[in-house]
Amino acid sequence: MDNSSTDLNRAIEGLIRGREFTRRLKEIIKKPLVVGGEVANIMAEELVAKIMESFSETLSVINNSDVIVATPVEVKSPEDYSSGSCKSSDRRGCYKRRKTSESNIKESSDLVDDGHAWRKYGQKQILNSTYPRHYFRCTHKYDQKCQASKQVQKVQDNPQRFRTTYYGHHTCKAFPRVSQIILDSPMDGNSNYISFDQNHAFPSIKQETKEEVVFGFYPKIEDQIQSSSSDYFLPNDNDHDHLTPATFEASGSRMTSPDVMSSGVYSSCTTTSNDNLEIDIDFEEGLWNFDQV
């Protein structure tokens, strides 16, 4: 963890510098006449620029270290939200609200695949926020009764960043890759997956992997939404209100941009220390879609 400690130091230094510059700026603002109008203005501008620079640098340092915020948030939990009974059988509606007791917020400049297969089940425009919120549940919600879910939303002040709020934790087993499952023989030491595999017939493993792929490129797609069409807020003149450019579709195979690979793959390994996010996949296999900025 030398890397991360170095980054931490750099981040701290940047913040300290920013604080110092801010302090000086405050001095100037406090007694502008002493220094002299024009000169004070220039100095103030310089300081502001330095402050910005310090903070930007700090942010970039933090960005590279992948995990920004890991704020445990308590959400009151009525244990089971059983919401009465399903009255109308034909209609929708017999559903429960979130019943997990805590959430875990993670913010990053990129959507790092957490090693689990997610399935999107909703998207909602949130009041007073520019960007829609996306709702995901674990792919194995039903076949493995996995209650994990998450919400992803762009950070209001910083659209390059995504805030992911995790609810619940995965009780499912994450299967990183088809090849691994198939190729792993029960004999070799790494038989975790195999033993589990005997209990459940997994409907389709390829889905999982596909989802991972899709999710890996999710930020780019999201960017497309926002920058190119931004269908939700600026109705396109040529079309109706929803042009929805294949929002998260991108269908894995469409890995258009070459910059996807390499770069900072290793850094995603350094996340750890976040016990809520247990990524029990083999990184060698999983890394390639961890695309960093």
Q: Which residues bind DNA (CB under 7 A)?
A: 76, 78, 81, 83-84, 88, 91-98, 119-124, 126-128, 133, 135, 137, 139, 149, 151, 203-204, 207, 210-211, 214, 241-242, 244, 246-249, 251, 253-254
Contact 33, 18 (CB under 8 A): no
CB closer to DNA out of 185 and 227: 227
CB closer to DNA out of 36 and 245: 245
Cα 144 from Cα 142, distance rounded (Å): 5
CB closer to DNA out of 51 and 155: 155
State the minimum distance, in angstroms, from the CB of residue 269 to DNA: 25
Neighbours of 154 (CB within 10 A): 22
Give the distance from CA 104 to its chain's centroid.
11
Contact 154, 161 (CB under 8 A): yes
* Residue among 207, 203, 217 nearest 177 (CA): 207
State the minimum distance, in angstroms, from the CB of residue 17 to DNA: 36
Q: Which two tokens stand for residue 132?
A: 């829609």
State the minimum distance, in angstroms, from the CB of residue 200 to DNA: 14
State the minimum distance, in angstroms, from the CB of residue 84 to DNA: 6
CB closer to DNA out of 54 and 209: 209
State the minimum distance, in angstroms, from the CB of residue 233 to DNA: 13
Cα 65 from Cα 35, distance rounded (Å): 41
CB closer to DNA out of 23 and 145: 145
Q: Is the dihedral of CA 69, 256, 263, 17 positive or negative?
A: negative
Contact 203, 173 (CB under 8 A): no
